[in-house]
Amino acid sequence: SKDNFDHFMLKEIFDQPNVLRDCMRGRIINAPYSRPWSPQQKGKNTDSLSVILSAVTLHRRELLRARRIIILSCGTSWHAGLIGKQLIEHFCKLPVEVAYASEFRYSDSVIEPDDVVMAISQSGETADTMAAMEMAKKRNALVFGIVNAVGSGISRISDTGVYIHVGPEIGVASTKAFTGQVTVLVMLALALGMAKGTVSQEEYNTVLHELVMIPDKIQKVLEQNDKIKDIAKKYIHSKNFLYLGRGYNYPVALEGALKLKEISYIHAEGYPAAEMKHGPIALIDSEMPVVFLATHHQLYQKIVSNMQEVISRNGKILAIVTEGDEQVKAMVDETIEVPPTIACLAPLLSVIPLQLLSYHVAVAKGLNVDQPRNLAKSVTVE
Ligand code: M6R
């Protein structure tokens, strides 16, 4: 049910603090003795958290042997895959490729038996993702599913995997599945990094401690719903939007743009902020709002210079910033603040205002938010 919300999408956006707690439950535990595969560390850091994923425990051998990970997915799940690549490369020092399942299945891509193929899917029924997995299975790669819908096709053909456990997602625009996927990818990168010995104990502890605080921080972002609604009303007549971010926030820019396209029918493009100079800057004028992901992380100052370039061309800026950022606030038209966190968890907070922005733009335009035109919740045909 929608509870007291006007739409499933809004309910699902507001569900995020709780469902992410569900996603972490039983996987992040405060029990040092159960830390896997590092017997030499047993007994140390008695108050530290551990992440335990049975898929990683059971398939430890194949995962440690993997020379490469290939992530296959579509749409929002592909955006989560781009974040997964950064996480796994950082924590596990393992090369990761991310492909659209639809392209991968018809390409001459090489799959080796020591590759691990990860399929990310909310519905677990996406035809292209399933077909790409079948291909990987034929080539004897370990097929690892990151799925929401329990018992779905993708979960059944996976050799192993991790459910995101965020509950049914009804709104066509994916919201809580995205943050659930990113949460699982963080846990997976940490669990595998610990097994491989490629993540330091200190960083592992820091990320886990920050991760368990994310649901409360999302709650703080949600408290700005009314403010975001007011901002959204100012943009309903815009015809185009640009979304820019870097590093972990680059896939968030893609995701923000996709959300706006899907339910508000406004053309939007996401780019890595530095790519602006290589073309999109030509589009900027007073009619072209630019959404910047400008939290206090990687390359913040460079993002600030990109903003200056937009301002000097009369572009309107809406910036997602870290709480207390006076520098950007003084420069741009609108800011939405998110609580501070570490870079690799930034997407879990910065995507929330973008979900709400697209929701409120669509509602203000009188559109059918939960069932936008031409779209289906699961794409079971190619
Ligand atoms: O169920 P899946 O995660 O496999 O679906 C993939 C895409 O079809 C899906 O993310 C789509 O892009 C959503 N409508 C995005 O909001």
| Distance (Å, whole) CA 349 – CA 331 | 22
Ligand 1 contacts CB of residue 262 (under 6 A): yes
| pLDDT tens digits along 205-238 | 999 999 999 999 999 999 999 999 999 999 999 9
Q: Which of 76, 80, 116, 74 is nearest to 96 (CA)?
A: 116
pTM to 2 decimal places: 0.95
C-alpha 66 chain-centroid distance: 24
- Atom of ligand 1 at shortest range from CA of 126: 4
Residue in the structure block whose two tokens are 């919740």: 377
Block mean pLDDT (10 aa), the chain, length 382: 94 97 91 45 58 96 96 98 98 98 92 95 97 94 97 97 97 97 98 97 95 96 98 95 97 98 97 93 92 93 95 95 96 97 98 98 95 86 84
| pLDDT tens digits along 137-194 | 999 999 999 999 999 999 999 999 999 999 999 999 999 999 999 999 999 999 999 9
Q: How far is the CA of 379 from the centre of ligand 1 (A)?
A: 8
Q: Is the CB of residue 322 less than 8 Å from the CB of residue 338?
A: yes
Write the residue with the smallest CA distance to atom 11 of ligand 1: 75
- Which positions are annotated as active-site residues? 377
Q: How far is the CA of 333 from the centre of ligand 1 (A)?
A: 32
Q: How far is the CA of 178 from the centre of ligand 1 (A)?
A: 9
Best probe residue, ligand 1, of 8, 74, 150 (max atoms within 8 Å of C-beta): 74
